[in-house]
Amino acid sequence: MFAVTKKHCDITGFEALNHDVFRVRLRLESTDHDNMHFHAGQYLDLCLPEGKKASFSIASAPDQGRDLELHIRQVPGSEFNAMILDHLRTQSAVDVELPKGTSCLDAYGVDTKTRFIFAAASTGFAQIKSMVEHLLANQVGNPIDIYWGARVEADIYLEKLPEQWAHEHANVRFVPVVSEPDNSPGWEGRTGLMPDVLAAELQQVDEHLAVYACGSPGMVHALVDRLEEKGVAEAQIHSDVFAWAPRPAKTASV
């Protein structure tokens, strides 16, 4: 693992990806000549005014060197969220602390037998994007299934990107899932809760399966429950959620 350090970044881009998600592009200071600064799937802390910090998954692959990408959702009614977005929209630079998180991977250490499932909700796609792009950049041919759950179709952004991965790479499959199809006119894809859809479609369970879950504690815990019913061990499911929101203990049945 890389040591956590504080670095200065230029803010090189700020754009809307859909109705409430923004892509922020950062570039690490040019005095930093290291090629790799983090492992795919790790996150960073933005160092904001008054000593405040905010954590966001790094959406870019480490193979991109000094260029970093974040996906930040606008949260109505949150003054802190509004301050973060205003700073990134109006300022030219920001300090960051990176890398953080242990739910990550390194293409050079991947076992050729491993089968990957990446499961995201909302902007959890950022973490998945980093890991998948890192695997593909290093020509890892292991099976990769990507499940992305959203409340409505409008909440999914950059969907053309995973569609392109699946089109260009025979080992990649992309499954978007909408939980409220009645509010998504014209939606023809999978419907329901993403953990349920993933569990229903999972055909083969063995020690070579590796699941990376990116989303809220509720989603991640629900996914663990559903996959355990299919025979997937909790140790095969990787998520940063486990570090700050441990899975509630199950009450023994009488």
Instruction: State pLDDT tens for residues 77-91.
Output: 999 999 999 999 999
Enter the CATH code of domain 5-100: 2.40.30.10
At the top level of CATH, which class does the domain 107-244 belong to? alpha beta
Domain ranges in the chain with CATH number 2.40.30.10: 5-100
Give φ, ψ of 183 to 5 degrees: -100, 15
pLDDT at 249: 74
Distance from C-alpha of 39 to C-alpha of 71, rounded to nearest angstrom: 17
Residue 91 pLDDT: 98
Mean pLDDT computed over 33-44: 85
Instruction: Give the pTM.
Output: 0.94
Q: Are strands 93-100 and 190-191 parallel, antiparallel or unpaired?
A: unpaired
Give 251's pLDDT tier (boundaries 50, 70, 90). low
pLDDT in tens, 183-230: 999 999 999 999 999 999 999 999 999 999 999 999 999 999 999 999
Which pLDDT band, with edges at 50, 70 and 90, does 250 fall under? low
Domain with CATH 3.40.50.80 in the chain: 107-244
